[in-house]
Chain A
Amino acid sequence: MSSSANLAVELRTRKRSADAAFGWVARGSAAFVLLVLAAIALTMTARSAPVLSAMGLDFFTSTQWSPPEKVYGALPFVFGTLFTASIAIAFAVPVSIGVALFITQVAPPRVRRYMIYAIDLLAAVPSVVFGLWGVLVLSRDFGLGRSFLTAGIILAVMITPIITSLSREVMETTPQADKEAAIALGATRWEMIKATVLPHSTGGLVGAVMLGLGRALGETIAAALVIGSALGQITTNPLAAGNSMPAVIANEWGEAGTLHKSALIALAMTLFVITILVNLIANAIVARAQRRMRGA
């Protein structure tokens, strides 16, 4: 009698400790994210320290990048990254919003379904495939050459499906009643869109654009293939050959000695900080927009 009671108690405690153990395993898995991020930040900071102590703030403000002379000024690459990303955004944003409006407000349901499928599939095309097309077709066969513009166009084609997909999701949350009210008041389709869909989705759209921007900033491969790999070029001529932070890292890593490697890691660090800021702002805007939509 007492032995079976003991057994029951033992079983219950074992069950409870198994329960607690599971909770801790889950907590540990979640903590892994913190561990990896801390490791990235620590390794990168430690490895970029040599060049930052050698160059000081000149690393961010100097326009000369000359590994043989041990001079590392990253400004042209920061500029190149921002410039190509801006070209990409300038092309991609109007087109994405137009397509998203077409899908949500104009297309008949059948067409809409297929278009959503198509956009999702296109978002899954690997960037290296766009890079291959960019370098062999757009740049060589179409004679566009390698420049900020070529890189910007390739990036635009890459991020359009992503921005479209996010914009579509935002626009779909526009309350049907608002849209019907607008139509009932005699609004044309465009007036209805201007009065209900766009104001309702502004926050989400800005967030979608920022996420697309984050993607364009960090994209390495497509840019490395078509940007032209010029050194120290700060110009607003989009047809000039340029360079961007990720492309420099990919192209120069192999050849790099210790200090040069440190400079490339510092470049990666800079890229890391910029993209994270953009992504966090995007997330904050999206979250606020979602809260407001739920409140509405």
Chain B
Amino acid sequence: MRVTAIAIVLGACGSPPAVDVTLNGSGSTFQKAVQEVAIDGFTRVHPEIAVNYGGGGSGKGRQDFADQVVDFACTDSPFPPADAAKAKGGEFIYVPTALGAIAVAYNLPGIRELNVSAPVLAKIFSRQITRWDDPAIAAENPGVALPDRGIVVIHRADGSGTTENFTRFLEQAGDGAWTLGSASTVQWSSETQAGMGNGGVAQIVQGTEGAIAYLDHSDARASGITCARVKNRAGHFIEPTLESVTTAGPGITFDDRLIFDALDSAVPDAYPLIAGSWCVAYLAPKVAAKGAALEQYLTYVITDGQPLLAEIDYAPIPAAMRERALAQLGRLP
């Protein structure tokens, strides 16, 4: 009797196709949506392989990967050399997966368009500018009725590659106005608020009038919050869109490990806050049997998986980079 009850319970959970291999990954939340659509598409073609992606931030991904508690990890910035040496599994490769925009999102009812430049952003995020009707903001937004309201700065609570890329942009393009350095976490003023992950940041922006935040464009779009236009190197204020990111692709230079920096593109109609993100995999996986599945999955991500990225507002990696990445993947067992 009890046995049948259990059988019914298990039966009710559907009979899942037999899973032979499970791949576990963690890391970049910037890349979470990329991994999600890739896993969704991949497991439809390969039901025998299960892929789990836990997110948790680039730092967690790199740590988990170094400790070999995951099969692959995703990160928004390369391993610091000291950490790379500590990776328990030996030599590993970088596979770039997507280009994405970091959006500057804000909550000002009635204001659908807002222009900001890097120096103004730097001053806002370091609390040198604290009100929306500050002359520096007004100068970039002629004709916009900026409210007499305090700015609420929102940043990531957890260490994040998005924070690192955003602060690096402020440092590079901010004309010296940014003094907090660039890292996955920086010493924010205590007057700021923090959210866990992009989702946490998006929620606070949704619920706080006067808020400004940085988060990935994909999440900002899906949460229905408004994004500012950011001034690029050519001097144009550009809205983050799939096109304004894709157009920056071919101009990106990369090294032998496929590491590159896509920030502050010189292309005239490119959005300036663009970041790349990578998957990392050991050449000799801890569980040898997983090697083939891992190669299949990562190959899928950069080939058939690329067109799926449009749904989530990420741009594909440029063709030249893809060819090199496929060659790297060929080195997996």
Contacts and interface: CB of A to CB of B under 8 A. Distances in A.
Kindly name the residue among A64, A140, A235, A241 whose own CB sees the greatest number of chain B CB atoms within 10 A. Answer: A241
Contacts of B204: 145-146
Interface residues of A, number: 30
Kindly name the residue among A141, A143, A254, A256 whose own CB sees the greatest number of chain B CB atoms within 10 A. Answer: A254
Contacts of A241: 192-194
B157 A145 contact: no
A224 interface: yes
A139 B57 contact: no
B59 A255 contact: yes
A178 interface: no
A257 B62 CA distance: 9
A228 to B, nearest CB: 6
Interface string A85-109: 0000000000000000000000000
Contacts of B196: 224-225, 229, 251
A235 B255 CA distance: 48
Contact of B60 (A139, A145, A228, A254): A254
Given A67-B185, A68-B185, A140-B207, A254 B158 contact: yes
Contacts of A206: none
Contacts of A229: 157, 193-196
A139 B63 CA distance: 33
Interface string A243-255: 0000000011111
A235 to B, nearest CB: 8
Contacts of A66: 185, 187
A135 interface: yes
B184 A255 contact: yes
A285 to B, nearest CB: 37
Interface in B147-170: 157-160
Contacts of A218: none
B24 interface: no
A257 B83 contact: yes
B187 to A, nearest CB: 5
Interface string A131-163: 000011001110101100000000000000000
Interface of A: 64, 66-69, 135-136, 139-141, 143, 145-146, 224-225, 228-233, 235, 241, 251-257
